[in-house]
Every structure is written in structure tokens, then in C-alpha cells.
């Protein structure tokens, strides 16, 4: 059975310890740790103590990859520390943003300095046996994402496919076809596919799969045609700023619903993989 997981920054607890305990109690065996939440090493240690597997960590994000000076130096130092921690705790994949990932904040245009920064991070990641997975984000940062993916051919740099971002911002670009052989990780969540130019990041709602308009029959069908065979990872949040009615659910009710819908995705994925295998 394909395993499922969920992100730690899902708003289902007062602190990292409570959130991770709730994730475990809801039935999940895997968690993607957002290292910006709480103290990074504390999160990794707590997950280990609870018996949760950590197939991916999510590195901190910023627009400072592309600039020079103190802000870039600070951000690079943060990423390096987190990559080293991933290696220390045997986490094989670290998810990286090309920008801060918000449509109302524009990073500098893609440039060689930013590319050099990624190459520097890759060198460190290889040393610690960690692969970097670059995530597709919003429309304004898509050029930064493709600039890195198309200019660095390295087996340790892959693709984190975010289905919610794809369907909200760039549904007409076939990312699963273009980067199919480089997929290392997935983020699965939903929204109402209603972003328009000028909207802020709030339309990126990170709803549970099947609670929005993202067509997961289509997404899973395409994903199953790629070589991807890792965890079906939800990246969701209970707090949607009043845009969706999860408030009526307790944290545990929400997480159990997430678990059920994750299992549904995993079953769909396995079914499609088997159907594709039989066609060969």
C-alpha cells in the first residue's frame, strides 16, 4: 500500500509537540516537517520519538535567494543549517522554494547569482545525502522555478509537484509531463481554482483534497504515469481565514478526515499504477 503523510504546519495544535502527537493519533505514519515552525531540530527529534517517518522536510523560504548582501547571507545560512539537520536525521528530501511564494511580493528577476546559490546548496546537500526538490509556486515566481529547473541538470535536484499551486496558477502548463522524470515529492491539496491577476496569496487555500475544485481523478491519473513512487503527501491547513468551514471540526476530526481522504488518494494512485502496468 502506498503510504500517506501530512504537513506539520496544518494548524492542528498549539505547538509542534501537540500537532505531531495529533498527527500520530489520527493514524498518519509520515509527516513533512516545516522547519520554519518552532525549532527545527526539536521538530525532528519529536517526530523521531513519536515514531513518525519524515520523508521530506520543507526548508524555510524567502525572496533572498536572488539578491546579494546580508539578507542573502542570512537566508543561505538558514538553508544550510536546515539541510545539515535533514542529513543528521536521515531525511532524504528537502523541499525548496525559488521565491517567497506570494503573488504580491516579487523577487528580483532570475539571475546567475541565484543559480549559483542553488548550486552551492546542492553541493552541501550531496555531502549530507539529501536531495533538493524545487516546488512550483505562484504565477509570478514561475519563471524563477523554470529558470532553476532548466539550467541545472543534476540528479540531486528534482521537482516537488504541488498540485494545488499548479491548478490555481498555471493549469495550462503540463508540469507532470515536462518534469515527469524528476519528481521527488508531492504536495496535494485543493482550492477553488479562482485566482486572477491582482489577487493575493489567500486563494491558495490548501483545502483537503476533494473539498475544492481540483480534479484529483485527472491529477492522480497523470501522476501515476510518472516514475513517482514516494509518499502521497497532503499539504493542508485547518485555518483558512474564514474562507472554508473547518471551524466546526475539532483538530482530531479534521486530521481523521484528512487521513481518510489521503487514503482515498493513495488507493486511486495504486489503482492507476496497476492499470498502467497491465498496459505494458
User: Tell me: the pLDDT tens digits for 183-223?
Assistant: 999 999 999 999 987 677 789 999 999 999 999 999 999 99
What value does the mean pLDDT of the chain take? 94
Asked if 223 and 269 count as a contact pair (C-beta separation under 8 A), the reply is: yes
Whether residue 103 has pLDDT greater than 70 = no
* Cell matching residue 269: 494512485
Distances (CA, A) of 181 to 161, 184, 224: 12, 9, 12
Say what the pLDDT of residue 102 is. 62
Whether residue 3 has pLDDT greater than 80 = yes
Structure confidence by residue, pLDDT tens digits, 18-36: 999 999 999 999 999 999 7
Say what the pLDDT of residue 214 is. 98
Task: Mention every residue, 6+ apart, whose C-beta is less than 8 A from residue 163.
Answer: 186, 187, 188, 189, 214, 216, 219
Say what the pLDDT of residue 110 is. 95
Say what the pLDDT of residue 37 is. 56
Q: How far apart are CA 98 and CA 135, in angstroms?
A: 7
Task: Mention every residue, 6+ apart, whose C-beta is less than 8 A from residue 216.
Answer: 163, 188, 190, 209, 210, 265, 268
Going edge to edge, which strands form the sheet with 93-96? 183-187, 157-162, 131-135, 93-96, 56-58, 30-34, 4-7, 232-234
Asked if 16 and 24 count as a contact pair (C-beta separation under 8 A), the reply is: no
pTM listed for this prediction: 0.96
Mean pLDDT of 247-274: 97
Q: Considering only residues 77 and 243, tell me which one the structure prediction assigns the higher pLDDT.
A: 77
Instruction: Give me the percent of the chain exceeding a pLDDT of 70.
Output: 96
Q: How far apart are CA 161 and CA 223, in angstroms?
A: 9
List the chain domain ranges: 4-279
What is the CATH topology of the domain spanning 4-279?
TIM Barrel (3.20.20)
Amino acid at each position: 500500500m502506498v503510504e500517506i503523510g501530512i504537513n506539520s504546519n496544518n494548524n492542528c495544535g498549539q505547538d509542534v509537540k501537540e500537532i505531531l502527537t495529533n498527527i500520530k493519533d489520527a493514524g498518519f505514519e509520515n509527516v513533512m516537517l516545516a522547519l520554519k515552525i518552532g525549532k527545527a531540530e526539536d521538530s525532528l527529534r519529536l517526530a523521531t520519538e513519536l515514531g513518525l517517518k519524515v520523508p521530506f522536510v520543507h526548508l524555510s523560504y524567502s525572496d533572498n535567494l536572488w539578491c546579494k548582501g546580508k539578507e542573502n547571507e542570512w537566508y543561505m545560512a538558514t538553508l544550510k543549517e536546515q539541510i545539515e539537520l535533514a542529513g543528521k536525521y536521515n531525511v532524504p528530501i528537502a523541499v525548496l522554494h525559488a521565491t517567497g511564494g506570494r503573488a504580491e511580493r516579487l523577487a528580483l528577476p532570475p539571475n546567475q547569482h541565484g543559480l549559483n546559490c542553488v548550486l552551492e546548496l546542492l553541493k552541501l546537500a550531496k555531502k549530507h545525502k539529501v536531495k533538493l526538490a524545487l516546488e512550483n509556486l505562484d504565477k509570478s515566481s514561475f519563471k524563477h522555478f523554470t529558470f532553476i529547473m532548466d539550467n541545472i541538470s543534476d540528479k540531486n535536484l528534482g521537482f516537488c509537484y504541488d498540485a494545488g499551486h499548479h491548478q490555481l496558477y498555471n493549469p495550462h502548463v503540463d508540469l507532470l509531463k515536462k518534469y515527469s522524470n524528476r519528481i521527488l515529492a508531492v504536495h496535494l491539496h485543493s482550492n477553488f481554482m479562482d485566482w486572477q491577476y491582482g489577487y493575493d496569496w489567500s486563494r491558495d487555500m490548501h483545502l483537503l483534497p476533494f473539498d475544492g475544485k481540483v480534479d484529483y481523478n485527472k491529477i492522480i491519473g497523470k501522476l501515476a504515469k510518472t516514475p513517482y513512487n514516494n509518499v502521497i503527501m497532503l499539504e493542508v491547513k485547518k485555518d483558512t481565514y474564514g474562507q472554508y468551514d473547518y471551524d466546526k471540526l475539532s483538530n482530531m476530526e479534521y486530521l481523521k478526515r484528512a487521513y481518510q481522504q489521503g487514503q482515498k488518494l493513495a488507493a486511486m494512485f495504486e489503482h492507476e499504477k496497476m492499470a498502467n502496468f497491465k498496459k505494458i
